Each structure stands twice: as structure tokens, then as C-alpha cells.
Structure 1
Amino acid sequence: DIDLACLIYTSGSTGEPKGVMSTHANMAFAASSIIQYLENVPEDIIINVLPLSFDYGLYQLLMAFKFGGTLVLERSFTYPAAVLKRIEQERVTGLPGVPTLFAVLLQMDLTKFDLSSLRYLTNTAAALPVEHIQRLRDAFPWARLYSMYGLTECKRTLYLPPEELERRPGSVGIAIPGTEVWIEDENGNQLEPGEVGELVVRGSHVMQGYWNNPKATAEGYHPGRYPAERLLYTGDLFKMDEEGFLYFVARKDDIIKSRGEKVAPKEVEGALYRLPGIVEAAVIGVPDELLGEAVKAFVVCGEGHQLTEKDVLRHCAQHLEDFMMPKYVEFRDSLPKTSSGKIQAAALKN
């Protein structure tokens, strides 16, 4: 159980990839917990278009073995119509995706395909924009949509029960079964609902650290209350509502400090996604002599849509406070992504 099972490398979307050391016990527990809340059964048929080098893709394989289901492997989502046809042919019940995959789906005419076999859709790697959640629910009203949060260092951390989507579409949920999470400030104090701090994770899914990188291991993994127990300090900022549901705010390193205020890129991106025609968006901070950092937005427009910088700024002015307003808007044909489809904000800073 405590032997090393594999090394899974982080995506590198926020820095250099690091090899996360996973034991057999870590992986078996994580797979079992996810199977429990997804309510997987042997009759489930999962389609996987994600790389098996990506933990989200790899665990589709491990979970299918564990619950005795069927896994349909596709090389990628490069040809979405072909994948949807495969879903129709194989009577797929589970579609694991990432925000960029679902953004492509939402641009397609889905009525051309019989997707009625789908029982659930899952999203992780990055938070789904609320606008996309609402449109996915409209497109697949019969399927359960799981909005989730995780990181390679503990596989999966949070999931939002689908019945809660209507009430709190911006939340990524509660701790997965058999685990515990809380939010701390910089002094290690546990925070109350509504306060923003770092998410801390406790459970048997917390991996062993980084391969040949004791410095990074010591920064991210701290001793727990019991011998040999590790706590994971995620480096991600969250807040919690009064009922214990969690909301992702930003990576600690991604917070933009502008005009003496702290700007969470996700909040600006969420506003951008509400503008019809924008299919991908990313926000970073760039040096500015007057502001300290200025907000810069990168956007990709969908086919048949033409937007100008004025259109984007006018829309943002209606949805954002002044200090959150982008100073720059750059239109691109596409945004840099990892092999798993996650937008690489770090690459936009270069």
C-alpha cells in the first residue's frame, strides 16, 4: 500500500512541471472516493479523450477497472464531431471534460447527434464559467453535471453535487467522500465563512510529495495531527459560504495587485464569458508604472462573431468594479494550452 505506484507530473500551467509521488493506497482511495460520488456502476461506459499522462485521464482507466465498467479511448478532441458520433455509437454514459472541451461543444449543433445515453458530465482542471454551466445544463437537461476541483498533489479535492448547481453555480462544492478541507490565513488560523484564504486538504488521497524536490515538498506538504500524516497546502485561494460550500478565488501567485487592490483573474474572466461571442478568455497582470499591475485580457471569439476592444470594455464596465477593469484587451485565434487542454496563463506572460 505504501509503495510508490507512479509519478504523475503537474500540468505546468503555472510553472515547471513537478513529479507527484503517488502510492498504491493514495490512488486506490482517490479512485474509490470519486466512484462513490459519481455513483458509477458496471453498466457505465466512459469515453476518454484526455491524455493518460494527465491524472484526470489516467483515473478514468483506473476507475473503470475498479468498478468493472467500459472505457472507450479516443486520442483527443481534435475532431469533436467524430467523438460525438462515437458517443452515439457506443451509448456512452460518462463524459469527462475540461472547460476548453465544453467551450467547443457549446459552439456545435448538438441536435445532429443522439447523446441521450449520457448519464453524467464532469469538469475539472479549471473552473467552468457560470455562463457555460448554464448552457451545458440547457444542452444536456437529462444528464448530471459535476463541477469539480482538484490538483495532481491529491488527485481530486472537491465536487459540487449536481442538485446544488441551480443554487450555487459558482461553487466547486464540498470535500470528496472520506476527506476534510478547510481554509487558513497566512498565520495558520482557520477562517470563517466569507473570508478568503488558502485551501488545506487532509485525507488518504494526499500524495507523498514531489520526486527529487524536497524544497517544493516542504513548501506544499506539512505534517498533520497524526504520525506520518501529511496535509496539503494547495496554494489556491478559496472562500466558503455559510453552508460549507467552497468557491475558488485564484491561485495565490496569480492575484493581480492593481491600484492597491487585489484582483482575482477568475472574476474578470467570468465577466468576459458573459459576453456573447467570447469562447475563451484569460486574464493576467502586466507591469504598470502608475497602477503597479494593470489587468490584461486575452480573448478568443467564436466562429461568426466579431468583437472590438470597445465592445469588451463596455461590457466589462457593466459587470466589474473600476479597479478590476482590463486596461488592455488582446484578441487571439487561440490561447496556449497544456496537453490536457488547460489554458496556460504563464505562457501569456512571456
Structure 2
Amino acid sequence: MSINCIRALLESAVETHSDKTALVFNEKSISYGELYARVNQVAFYLKELDLPKNTRIGIYSNKGIEQVVAVLAILSTDYILVPLTKMLKPEQVEYIINDCDIKCIITDKLKLESIEEINFDGHILSYETTAKEIASFEEIYKYYNKPYVCDINGHDNAIITYSFGMTGTPKGIVISHRNLIDSARVVSQYLNLEEDDVISGLLIFNLDYGLNQIFCSLYKRATLALHRFILPDDFFNHLINDKVTVLPLMPVNISQMFEDGMQRIPSPELFDHLKTITSSGGNVTAKMIKDCKNTFRNADFYSMHGLTEAFRSTYLDPSQVQIRPDSIGKAIPDVELYVINDEGKECGVREVGELIHRGGYIYRGFWNAPEQNALRFKSVDILKDVINLEGQLTDEIVVATGDYVYKDEEGYLYFVSRHDNMIKTRGFRVSPYEVESVVAKNIPQIDQCAVFGLENEQIEEEIVMVYSAPSEISGEEIIFELKKHLASYMIPGRIIYKRSLPLVQSDKNQVNKDALKRELTAS
């Protein structure tokens, strides 16, 4: 079996740390040996389904120990994992099922009803025993006790994660087993992770940042403490009771924990065991950093910038976080970053250009999306005026990120904007087109609709919807309808009625969003 796969990490951890606690969730915990046994039982069952190699298997469930078992079980087969965040509505799940042809879904009792709404005709596997015709982990743990052996190729596809692309429909990015190992290795290196660390599993396991916490824990034989963020009080208890030392967050999580001010936060000495905080998935403000520093006084704060097409590009060293809080930092190990202008020349100091990612951690590409791949995955030849390509024997792929940035005099990078008009909110990318399409399809009273983002320090961007109609519609009525079709993070925070919307001069069928943004910003 390849050394460049998560299965190899799991087997190695069991050989040396079988009795060590691998996972903690509330009052429950399991050792590496127990985790390995459960993973083998579920993987054995999955292989008995006798599905073709590279069959896509989805996980659509709430967080818990069994969800991690499911992730590792799929990665112990030659199938491909497709995480489906629990926040997706049934019709969004149905889109992803059809897009990558999912043949099996692993779920829990709460999400089973949502799957039944979409008439999924593939295999269904539930954590709990629910009905005779649906197999469960509980039954598998009782009856599947045969030895399980597998042979995983590190170059094979491992995961397809879905985010929202420029066309408004989700685009799946394909990640190999080798990608997963490389990302665990580099994060463990620059964060100085150790065997005795307790890593918080606060993030949802739908994208690479969240999933990476599982793999880093395996890589270092650390403990992963799972948590579902509901209330700040519960979150702080999680940090204290689980003795968390490494805390991966998104900026929206920082806003949530400090939203009621500092008066309800426990004494800072209760968090002195916390040594590392990481943040990715959005811009970090100076206030967020200050709040974290005041509460988690021994913790180094790492601000990071990742891509859809590659695991990560930059991180800001903790020594620089308070000096230049707006910076996204410098390249992570094994990555070269360049800022180029429209002519392909390297940009000067403080000149804005497109960020080009060269080197490690580049993913395989978008699933069944040749146009998207052509837009983002480019020949290294686009850097011919920046680096010396003499003697290159084979072509090399780099990522044209679509992120527009600039460098300061010391080489630190600063994010300016996206090439497209994606909205970045609460750590998620939201396509205005998808929200507008749902409005057009389901609220016929609305004549025209424009959805866009406006800067909001707490959540990075607030989703704004401006619409025209013969008469004003209740905002509650609009939100009620949108919630039937969209994930919660995609619901507009502000809904504004206008009798008519400004149009683009060159295209009278297109709403002038820039004019609307200027008007709202000015007011």
C-alpha cells in the first residue's frame, strides 16, 4: 500500500498508539485501536456492496464519532468520499448526487428524512438502526468482524468537495490521497503540532480545512475533540473540559464567541493550555485578533489563506498578526507565489495583480467542469516573464487563483478582491446567481432581483438582495420561501424593495449592481 494515503496513517497510528485516545465527543471517547476496528468493519461492509472502483459515496449527517468513522472507512476503500454539509437543503443535495453520480449515502436518523424527500435510489447506510431495509453502523459493529485488508494508491482520487462556482451551481474539486497526506504534513510542520496535542474538531467536515483536522490528528497521533458550536458558553466549556491545545476556526466563529461582549467569558487562566489558534475561510479583523489575544493569552494566532483549487497558499506568522493584521502573509512551505498583471509581468510593490500559486498542494481539478479547469489550472508558461523556464522538459500546472492581491515592501501579501463576484460570508462562498435563480423560479411576484455582498466586519460580507415588483412583499415571506431551497448561510441578511432597478447601459437586461452598491454604501 502507498505511504501517501490516510489509510497508511491510520494503520501506523494503531501500531504505535493503539490505546491512546483518538476521538472525544461530549462524554464519549474511543482509542486509536477502537477507531481502527470500527473503520475496518464499515469499510468491509462498503466493499461488500461490490460497487465499481471510484464510486462516489456521500456523507450527509451531523457531526459525531461515527461521522469520522465514515470518513476514514470510505478512505480505506477505492471509493471516493463526497462530504455533504448538513446545512444543504434536499434539492441542493440532489444536485450534487446527480452531478457526481453518488451511489451510496451514509447518514443519521435526523437527515434520513431529507434523503427520502429526493427519492435517492442508491444504497443508504445509517449510523443508527432505523428500518429493516436500511443497514446501520450499529448492526455492522455486531456482525462484521472479519479481517479487513486494503491496498490504496496514493495517486488515486480520494475526495470530491463541493463549493459554489461562478456559474451559480456547485463545482466539485477532486482531491487525491497524496494531497491529503501533503496537507497534513505541511500544517503539522508550520504549526509545530505534537503528539500530546488536543485538536478541536469544531469545523464542519465538508471542505478541506475541516477535514484536515482529522488527518493532522492521525499524522501526529494527537487527539481530536469534536464539538458542535451552538452557544458560546458550550464552546468555552469544550475548550476547558477537553483541554484543547490547538483551535482551528473561521472568522465567523470568532465573531460568534465574542458577540455578547467580554463579560460572560471565563477567566483567561482557564485557557492557558491553548497554545495555537488558526483561522482560514475569510478575513480576520484587528478586533478579532485582540479579542482572541485577551482571552487566549498563551495562544499563537495563525491567519491563513486557502484556495478552492489548492489546499493552502499563505499563512501569517503569529509574530506579524498584530503588526499587520490585514495581511494574508507569505507562502507556506513548498509553495511559490507570484503576483502578475494583465500582461503577465510581475507586479511591483503595492501594485494589485492576480495571485499565481506554484508548487505543492494543487488539487486534481474540478469534476466534469472543463471550462472551470481551463480558467484556473494554467500552464506554468504564464510565468514566463517572471521566472526562468529555460530547460523545462515537461509542462507544469499552476493555479491562477482569481484572487487579486498586492505585496508590501517586505513581501507580505494583502487580499484586495475576487476576480468574479462571489460573496464570501461566514467562511462560505455564495454565488449570487444561485440565490437569484431560486428567486426567479419560486417567487413569481418579483420582476427583477439583484444579489450581492456588502462588507460586514463580523461575517466578512453581508448578503443583500434588492428586488423590484408591482408592490412590496414582506421580507419574512421572501425569507420563508428562500429557506425552503437554500442553505442557511445563503439567506440574504438584508432585503430591499425598489419600484425599479438600475440597468447596465450596454445591457438593459442586466441589473447594475455597482450602482446599487454605491447607493447603499453612501446611505
Distance 1:10-1:290 versus aligned 2 partners, 3 A rule: closer
Aligned to 1:137: 293
Shift of 1:14: 8.8
Whole-Å Cα distance in 2 between the matches of residues 255 and 284 of structure 1? 13
Aligned to 2:414: 247
> Is structure 2 residue 192 aligned with structure 1 residue 21?
no
Aligned to 2:183: 30
Shift of 1:290: 9.9
Aligned to 1:262: none
Return the match for 2:217 from 41, 58, 64. Answer: 64
Question: Do 1:45 and 1:69's aligned partners in 2 also have CA atoms closer than 8 Å?
Answer: yes
Runs of 5+ in structure 2 lacking a partner? Answer: 1-153, 381-388, 424-451, 467-500, 506-511
Distance 1:15-1:135 versus aligned 2 partners, 3 A rule: farther
Whole-Å Cα distance in 2 between the matches of residues 85 and 166 of structure 1? 27
Question: Do 2:272 and 2:297's aligned partners in 1 also have CA atoms closer than 8 Å?
Answer: no
Distance 1:324-1:111 versus aligned 2 partners, 3 A rule: farther
Whole-Å Cα distance in 1 between the matches of residues 464 and 339 of structure 2? 24
Shift of 1:123: 0.7
SS at the partner of 2:170?
coil
How far does the alpha carbon of each residue in 1:209-243 deviate from its partner, in whole angstroms, 9 at most, with x for none?
A: 11111111111001226525210111111111111
Q: State how 1:201-220 maps to structure 2 within 5 Å.
A: 201-220=357-376
TM-score (norm 2): 0.50
SS at the partner of 1:110?
coil
Distance 1:11-1:89 versus aligned 2 partners, 3 A rule: farther
Measured on the aligned residues, the alpha-carbon RMSD in Å equals: 2.8
Return the match for 1:282 from 445, 462, 466. Answer: 462
Distance 1:210-1:105 versus aligned 2 partners, 3 A rule: same
Shift of 1:158: 0.5
Aligned to 2:251: 99
Aligned to 2:317: 161
> Is structure 2 residue 201 aligned with structure 1 residue 48?
yes
Shift of 1:324: 9.8
SS at the partner of 1:212?
coil
Amino acid in the other structure paired with 1:32:
R
Question: Which of structures 1 and 2 has the bigger CA Rg?
Answer: 2
Question: Do 1:7 and 1:20's aligned partners in 2 also have CA atoms closer than 8 Å?
Answer: yes
Amino acid in the other structure paired with 1:217:
N
Whole-Å Cα distance in 2 between the matches of residues 249 and 64 of structure 1? 33
Shift of 1:295: 5.6
Amino acid in the other structure paired with 2:266:
T
> Is structure 2 residue 284 aligned with structure 1 residue 125?
no
Question: Do 2:355 and 2:402's aligned partners in 1 also have CA atoms closer than 8 Å?
Answer: yes
Return the match for 1:190 from 339, 346, 355. Answer: 346
Whole-Å Cα distance in 1 between the matches of residues 396 and 335 of structure 2? 13
Shift of 1:112: 5.5
Whole-Å Cα distance in 1 between the matches of residues 519 and 213 of structure 2? 38
TM-score (norm 1): 0.74
How far does the alpha carbon of each residue in 1:308-343 deviate from its partner, in whole angstroms, 9 at most, with x for none?
A: xxxxxxxxxxxxxxx798035xxxxxxxxxxxxxxx
Whole-Å Cα distance in 1 between the matches of residues 339 and 257 of structure 2? 34
Distance 1:95-1:208 versus aligned 2 partners, 3 A rule: same
Whole-Å Cα distance in 2 between the matches of residues 229 and 59 of structure 1? 26
Distance 1:65-1:251 versus aligned 2 partners, 3 A rule: same
Aligned to 2:397: 230
Question: Do 2:289 and 2:322's aligned partners in 1 also have CA atoms closer than 8 Å?
Answer: no
**Between Structure 1 and Structure 2, how many residues are aligned?**
286
Whole-Å Cα distance in 2 between the matches of residues 238 and 87 of structure 1? 35
Distance 1:290-1:16 versus aligned 2 partners, 3 A rule: closer
Distance 1:138-1:186 versus aligned 2 partners, 3 A rule: same
Distance 1:327-1:208 versus aligned 2 partners, 3 A rule: same
Whole-Å Cα distance in 2 between the matches of residues 87 and 126 of structure 1? 22
Amino acid in the other structure paired with 2:254:
F
Whole-Å Cα distance in 2 between the matches of residues 324 and 193 of structure 1? 32
Whole-Å Cα distance in 2 between the matches of residues 103 and 17 of structure 1? 27
Shift of 1:83: 2.4
Return the match for 1:82 from 216, 229, 234. Answer: 234
Distance 1:117-1:182 versus aligned 2 partners, 3 A rule: same
Residue range with higher mean Cα deviation, 163-172 or 132-141: 132-141
Amino acid in the other structure paired with 1:206:
I
Amino acid in the other structure paired with 2:300:
R
Shift of 1:63: 0.9
Shift of 1:149: 0.5
Distance 1:20-1:33 versus aligned 2 partners, 3 A rule: same
Question: Do 2:244 and 2:274's aligned partners in 1 also have CA atoms closer than 8 Å?
Answer: yes
Whole-Å Cα distance in 2 between the matches of residues 283 and 295 of structure 1? 13
Q: Identity, % of aligned pairs?
A: 31
Higher RCO (CA < 8 A, seq sep 6+): 1
Residue range with higher mean Cα deviation, 7-16 or 110-119: 7-16
Aligned to 1:347: none
The structure in which a higher percent of residues are helix is 2
Whole-Å Cα distance in 2 between the matches of residues 212 and 149 of structure 1? 26
SS at the partner of 1:326?
helix
Q: State how 1:294-305 maps to structure 2 within 5 Å.
A: 294=515, 296=517
Amino acid in the other structure paired with 1:232:
V
Aligned to 1:111: 266
